[in-house]
Amino acid sequence: MDETTRQLRAQSRKIIHEIWVKLKKGEPLEGEYKTIGKALSEHKEYHNVWEFADVIDGADYEIDGTNPFLHIILHSTVKNQIASNNPKEVRETFQRLQSKGLSKHEAEHVIGRAVAFEIFNITKNKEPFNKKRFLKELKKAKDSISKE
């Protein structure tokens, strides 16, 4: 991992810790911080991680094969896409998944698969956001639920 990536990870973890501290104190959160705070509170299994997020540097960090920081970023991204209806297919997919019996949280996970795939292509392959590719992955993720 390059130094820039490590520094960005460390900084984002400090921000997550700041949000967590405010959330615990009952302080108001706004904008993106409010969305991240909601995602943090929904993941009780990681609450101890948020307590120490400011001292976990930018190194790789996983619990049972999941990076809790990336997991929260994916939830936050999906929540923002649903709220802004951009792209509109995300909200449509979210509603369809819920109509099939998935909880809001489970539906966010399904959509998060497509978001993660796109983030991977953007960061690892240095490619710009590709809406067509994203929507194809979104459909694959949604269809995988239909067949389960």
- Tens-digit pLDDT profile for residues 102-131: 999 999 999 999 999 999 999 889 889 999
- Could you tell me if 99 and 60 lie in one domain? no
- Could you tell me if 95 and 53 lie in one domain? no
Runs of H (alpha helix) within the chain = 3-25, 31-42, 47-51, 68-84, 88-99, 104-124, 131-146
Average pLDDT over residues 32-50: 96
Inside any domain, residue 79: no
Q: What range defines the domain where residue 30 resides? A: 1-65
Total of domains in the chain: 2
Inside any domain, residue 18: yes
- Could you tell me if 46 and 93 lie in one domain? no
Q: How far, in Å, are 6, 36, 91, 94, 137 from residue 88 at the CA level?
A: 33, 21, 6, 10, 15
Closest CA to 91 of 75, 76, 111, 70: 111
pLDDT at 144: 87
Type of residue found at 90: V
Inside any domain, residue 80: no
Going by pLDDT thresholds of 50, 70 and 90, the confidence category of residue 1 is confident
- Could you tell me if 60 and 115 lie in one domain? no
Inside any domain, residue 75: no
- Could you tell me if 145 and 107 lie in one domain? yes
DSSP category for residue 99: H
pTM for the model stands at: 0.90
Inside any domain, residue 144: yes
Going by pLDDT thresholds of 50, 70 and 90, the confidence category of residue 99 is very high
71 near 61, Cβ under 8 Å?
A: no
- Could you tell me if 59 and 94 lie in one domain? no
Inside any domain, residue 71: no
- Rounded distance between C-alpha atoms, residue 72 and residue 46, angstroms: 10
Average pLDDT over residues 118-145: 92
Listed residues 34, 65, 96: the one ending a domain: 65
Inside any domain, residue 47: yes
Closest CA to 77 of 129, 21, 6: 129
Inside any domain, residue 78: no
Cis amide leading into 128 (omega within 30): no
